[in-house]
Amino acid sequence: MEAWGKTVHTAEMRRALPAKVSNAFDTAVKVDCVADDIAHQLREQILNETISAGKRLPTEQMLGTQFGVSRNIVRDAIARLKEMGLVETRHGVGTFVKGDAEQNRTEASTDGLMALLPLMHVYQMRLELDSGAAALAATHRSQTQLDQIRTALAALMRAGDEWEHAAKAAFEFNKVLTEATQNPFIISTHHHLASSIRDAIRTLRLRATDEQCIADILTEHEAIYLAIERRDANLARQAMKTHLERGMTRYRQMFGQI
């Protein structure tokens, strides 16, 4: 069977953790966040035409095996795709990619974008969580994890002004950086908040179309990477804090709210 999305690593991560930590991880990772993650991955493949219009999705059982989750979570993910107008279920036959999915690209691509107040709340949280994670990543990262952060940075640089690709790369940068902390509680917290973090990143990147703005964002990410490469925890913490503060300042300036 062809790959229908990148595997959600919940089960894999759980097996790697001690029993007590594993239980804490299970408690923190909510079902709706996992369903959001699966829906996002399938949506990306539909909009990129990796999954072509008119094609039937694998069964719930097959998708559950592919992503390592229960059928109930798969159902929730498919329900989200239906809400986006990307798939339809034919009773007794299965779930199919809609023939007009391409026409829903604009509407689907802006789902989950945040208003200013919830966006500020997410970034206030990220100022504390991500700044600390950057500092821990600088002291605990392995060479493999550093390579993963560099790969995500390279993808961000290639994305340029293609905002959805840039948002996806920025989220991946944040994700692998968090994993480099090697702290299972920080990792599980990030996974629990992944849907909100992804939407906040997408909201900011949608408006970041100015050439200088894009260049500044890349410079800020590079500064975070270099600090982690040098194992300088204080510099990594400050670089992340600066990036997040400037992100909110840019967004407010765009709407004349600063």
- Same-domain status, 128 and 102: no
- Same-domain status, 105 and 136: no
204-225: per-residue pLDDT in tens?
A: 888 777 888 899 999 999 999 9
d(CA 238, CA 244): 10
Which CATH number goes with the domain that contains 41?
1.10.10.10
Is 2 domain-assigned? no
- Same-domain status, 124 and 22: no
- Same-domain status, 75 and 51: yes
- Same-domain status, 97 and 134: no
Which CATH number goes with the domain that contains 129?
1.20.120.530
Predicted confidence at residue 32, as pLDDT, reads: 54
Contacts 24+ apart (CB under 8 A), 221-225: 221/153, 221/156, 221/170, 221/173, 222/153, 224/134, 224/177, 225/149, 225/150, 225/153
133-154: per-residue pLDDT in tens?
A: 999 999 999 999 999 999 999 9
In single-letter form, the type of residue at position 232 comes to: D
- Same-domain status, 245 and 152: yes
- Same-domain status, 205 and 154: yes
- Same-domain status, 104 and 136: no
Domain count, the chain: 2
Predicted confidence at residue 156, as pLDDT, reads: 95
Is 4 domain-assigned? no
Of 94, 109, 124, which residue is a domain's last?
A: 109
Q: How confident is the model at residue 2 (pLDDT cuts 50, 70, 90)?
A: very low
- Same-domain status, 181 and 216: yes
Is 39 domain-assigned? yes
Is 38 domain-assigned? yes
pTM of the model: 0.61
- Same-domain status, 99 and 134: no
- Same-domain status, 66 and 182: no
- Same-domain status, 123 and 226: yes
In this predicted structure, the answer to whether residue 65 has a pLDDT above a threshold of 50 is: yes
Take residue 150 and report the two structure tokens written for it. 């560099």
Residue 28: which domain range? 10-109
